[in-house]
């Protein structure tokens, strides 16, 4: 017997559930993430308030809390102060208890004060959305029951679990643990899959960490960012205005020397440059590691050594775990080749880390870097030096 206003076949209820949860994830990625946390786009008040209202109905999340916690994640990424780092809490806990970690950090007044600035503080936020977080999800339950009878309870339960599992668990957990990397920011962020059907583009997490203020999360032609598609639709309807997107990666034939354009290109695209460095040098580093394990460092655990060397190609050594740093130092002490590659990476990152010297001096240092790479006798390093001069 059916008492709801709508009677659907089983697949109809499944489609309705997916549709409702998709509106919620779109609201998270467009309103909370790209608009509020990173100011990558501006939203018309109509669009902004609809998305805020929908999140109140379907998640009970307070904008200021979500934004503050996410900004702190970027500011303290993969340190002990990161609200949800799988490197410190473990992948199992972040994946299965991500919502509990979120609620724990939301009670930290210092986090809200420091990172929650610029979020809505109007009458309806203070007196309804932030004050009565349970009322919205209660109204959503009543609506689901009225429309779909008892099965509406199951639909509502899926709605309530969707964001805690996918946003708090999958993105924050797997997105820093497993996947592929297009860029090499100084963290373990990964792209989970190249198409965002269930989580609206948020699975392109490595791309986001490389360019945090970009309204578009996809960077390769085969990556699908549904959130960006919705933003483009809002722009066509004059309900949104894009403020920033990540710079496109462009190449042209290598110059004989370096100039201001070369310096600017690699500085803006530095995380792509570092990823290119890692990909180009990875094979020779792994081969040298195998040689060391067979001779100079026979007592070193092979898996740990490879992990340490792989990580410093992608990240700064200062953020490695203590065991990885120790293994890295042993390998560097035993191999002149690894010392050269390591020193060249450090000198490369220094090109965009120094602000106290002039542009002319930086160009000279870039030219010197390329000259040393060309004269190193390491073929992979010479190949990368040629690639570096192709950035445009």
Alpha-carbon distance of 392 to 133, in angstroms, equals: 49
Q: Are 249 and 386 in contact (CB under 8 A)?
A: no
Band (296; pLDDT cuts 50, 70, 90): low
**Averaged pLDDT, 373-383:** 94
Position 31 scores a pLDDT of 98
Position 136 scores a pLDDT of 96
C-alpha of 78 from chain center: 12
Q: What is the DSSP letter of 320?
A: S
Band (368; pLDDT cuts 50, 70, 90): very high
The pLDDT tens digits of the residues spanning 9-50 come to: 999 999 999 999 999 999 999 999 999 999 999 999 999 999
**Averaged pLDDT, 375-386:** 94
Whether pLDDT at 309 is above 90? no
Residues across the chain: 392
Alpha-carbon distance of 328 to 109, in angstroms, equals: 39
**Averaged pLDDT, 48-72:** 96
Q: Which pTM was predicted? A: 0.90
**Averaged pLDDT, 342-346:** 91
Q: Residue 294 in 3-state DSSP?
A: helix
Position 300 scores a pLDDT of 59
Position 290 scores a pLDDT of 77
**Averaged pLDDT, 150-168:** 91
Alpha-carbon distance of 277 to 381, in angstroms, equals: 8
The mean pLDDT of the chain is 89
**Averaged pLDDT, 312-335:** 76
Position 304 scores a pLDDT of 63
Choose between 88 and 52: higher pLDDT. Answer: 52
Position 79 scores a pLDDT of 87
Position 2 scores a pLDDT of 58
Band (203; pLDDT cuts 50, 70, 90): very high
**Averaged pLDDT, 255-260:** 79
Closest CA to 212 of 84, 352, 75: 75
Band (315; pLDDT cuts 50, 70, 90): confident
**Averaged pLDDT, 339-343:** 91
Whether pLDDT at 167 is above 90? no
Tokens of 73: 């994640």
Position 107 scores a pLDDT of 95
Alpha-carbon distance of 316 to 333, in angstroms, equals: 18
Whether pLDDT at 307 is above 70? no
Whether pLDDT at 74 is above 90? yes
Q: Are 28 and 200 in contact (CB under 8 A)?
A: yes
Position 384 scores a pLDDT of 94
Angstrom distances, CA of residue 376 to CA of 147, 242, 351, 371: 71, 45, 19, 9
Whether pLDDT at 1 is above 60? no
Whether pLDDT at 127 is above 60? yes
Kindly state the percentage of the chain with pLDDT values over 90.
63
The pLDDT tens digits of the residues spanning 355-364 come to: 678 888 999 9
Alpha-carbon distance of 92 to 230, in angstroms, equals: 32
**Strands annotated E in the chain:** 41-43, 240-242
Alpha-carbon distance of 170 to 83, in angstroms, equals: 15
């Amino acid at each position: 017997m059916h008492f709801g206003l709508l009677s659907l076949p089983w697949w109809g209820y499944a489609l309705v559930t997916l549709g409702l949860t998709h509106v919620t994830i779109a609201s998270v990625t467009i309103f909370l993430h790209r608009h509020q946390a990173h100011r990558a786009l501006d939203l018309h008040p109509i669009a902004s308030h609809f998305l805020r209202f929908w999140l109140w109905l379907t998640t009970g999340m307070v904008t200021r809390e979500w934004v503050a916690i996410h900004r702190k994640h970027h500011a303290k990424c993969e340190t002990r102060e990161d609200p949800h780092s799988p490197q410190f809490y473990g992948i199992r806990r972040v994946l299965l208890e991500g919502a509990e970690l979120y609620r724990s950090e939301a009670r930290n007044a210092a986090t809200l004060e420091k990172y929650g600035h610029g979020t809505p503080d109007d009458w309806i936020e203070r007196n309804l959305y932030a004050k009565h977080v349970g009322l919205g999800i209660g109204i959503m339950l009543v609506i689901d029951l009225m429309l779909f009878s008892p099965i509406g309870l199951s639909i509502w339960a899926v709605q309530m679990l969707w964001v805690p599992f996918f946003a708090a668990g999958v993105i924050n957990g797997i997105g820093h643990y497993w996947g592929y990397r297009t860029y090499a920011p100084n963290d373990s962020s990964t792209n989970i899959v190249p198409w965002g059907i269930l989580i609206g583009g948020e699975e392109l997490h490595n791309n986001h960490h490389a360019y945090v203020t970009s309204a578009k999360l996809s960077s390769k032609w085969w990556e699908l960012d549904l959130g960006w598609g919705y933003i483009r639709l809002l722009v066509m309807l004059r309900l949104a205005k894009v403020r920033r997107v990540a710079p496109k990666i462009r190449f042209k034939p290598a110059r004989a020397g370096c100039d201001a354009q070369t310096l600017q290109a690699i500085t803006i695209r530095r995380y792509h440059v570092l990823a290119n460095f890692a990909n180009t040098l990875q094979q020779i580093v792994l081969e040298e590691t195998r040689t060391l394990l067979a001779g100079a460092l026979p007592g070193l655990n092979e898996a740990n050594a490879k992990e340490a060397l792989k990580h410093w190609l992608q990240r700064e050594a200062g953020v490695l775990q203590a065991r990885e740093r120790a293994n890295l130092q042993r390998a560097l002490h035993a191999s002149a080749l690894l010392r050269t590659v390591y020193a060249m990476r450090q000198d490369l990152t220094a090109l965009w880390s120094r602000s106290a010297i002039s542009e002319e001096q930086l160009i000279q240092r870039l030219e010197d870097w390329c000259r040393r790479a060309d004269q190193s006798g390491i073929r992979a390093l010479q190949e990368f030096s040629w690639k570096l001069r192709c950035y445009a």
